[in-house]
Structure 1
Amino acid sequence: MWVKGQRHGRASPKRLDLGVWGSATALILVVTLSSAAFLLPQTQLPWLAAINLILVAHGMLQRGAIGGVIRFVLLQLGFTLGLYALMHGGEQLGQGTLAVARITLALLPGWWLSVTVRPERIGEVLCLVMPAKWAFVVAASIGLLPFMTQEIAEIYQLQRLRGARIAPKQLLNPRNWPELAYCVLFPLLIQLLKLAKQMALAAKSRHFGHTSKPTHWQDTRSEHGNK
């Protein structure tokens, strides 16, 4: 069972109940756009970027938090440019920027899906094409994207306040990369492992997996209906 709520006083994304076919269409759109980010030639990337901007605007209207994604992209940009500068000098920094741009274009559709479509609907769609247990894992992973971006933002800000050398400019120096790992990435991994254990315990307590055709949560109430 998926539970709505708030975390640290922040409003949860206002996810839409598109039904099975609407959710399936959204999932196909996301897979197509994310794949196109790596398959399209460079000259067609601006068109893909325009589509992603529309998705970002829609996701923000649904109260999706984009700040964590932006910080992740900046960290990725600093890390990638530093790596390219170390290996190739300043000659191929444009290629490094292009690589980060493609990763960003592949990431944004998944973020949009996670903040606009309810995880139980995604799981219901995936159950049509894969075993229920795998569908649960994939749907839960997609549902965790907003949590991950928020956790990255909070951990990053806290570590910056305590003086960690993980600002984008500081990450151009490869000597600061280990600090990024043990100040941000390792705490994030620990948080995700704890959450995964809690989700597994919740699923087990609800006897998930005892039947090959599990039921799915049907919420007929509106976002502002009875609670």
Structure 2
Amino acid sequence: MMTNLFSMFDPSTNIMSLSLNWISSMLGIIMIPYMFWLIPNRFSFLWNKILLTLHNEFKTLLGTNHHGSTFIFISTFSFIVFNNFMGLFPYIFTSSSHMTMTLALALPLWLSFMLYGWINHTNHMFAHLVPQGTPSVLMPFMVCIETISNFIRPGTLAVRLAANMIAGHLLLTLLGSTGPSMSLILVNFLILTQIALLTLESAVAIIQSYVFAVLSTLYSSEVN
């Protein structure tokens, strides 16, 4: 039963020895930029408004001396939110529910921030290990705690995104698998429940993308 339950998250499914699941991650590159070759419509205006709002917010978090740095976080948000929404459609592989993808996004970002900070702002990085106002007795413990918290940041980013995406999909799968054994009245109630869960999953898809981008922005602002 568990094998069948988790088969929807198995990236090894292939056709003619060619794994096609991860192609869903690339569909956004094909579909999102259509605003550049079609007449602008309401969706393009809405998407540009969202990106402008994110740009202003990330610029506030990063400071005024880092022009253009927000684009990498806006691109990360766009990529994750599209993959999250693609996973809500039937028969489309949810790549953002796998640690393979989430860790591949979080680890390079964190590693680049750490290398930049320790190479260019070494004193600031050492000072950041001991929060201001820490008693002298607690300083060695605070250094250990801050060091551990820095090292687990890419893991927490990756696990948070993957766990939140896989949890909703598992719940939808479990509820859907009970449908054939239910009566007609219960099936109608199950359909309403599934619709409500899909709405909740849509909100989770946006929120988790936003959280990933904001935390990445905050980690970047700490090294500058």
The two structures have a TM-score, normalised by structure 1, of 0.29
Q: Which has the higher helix share?
A: 2
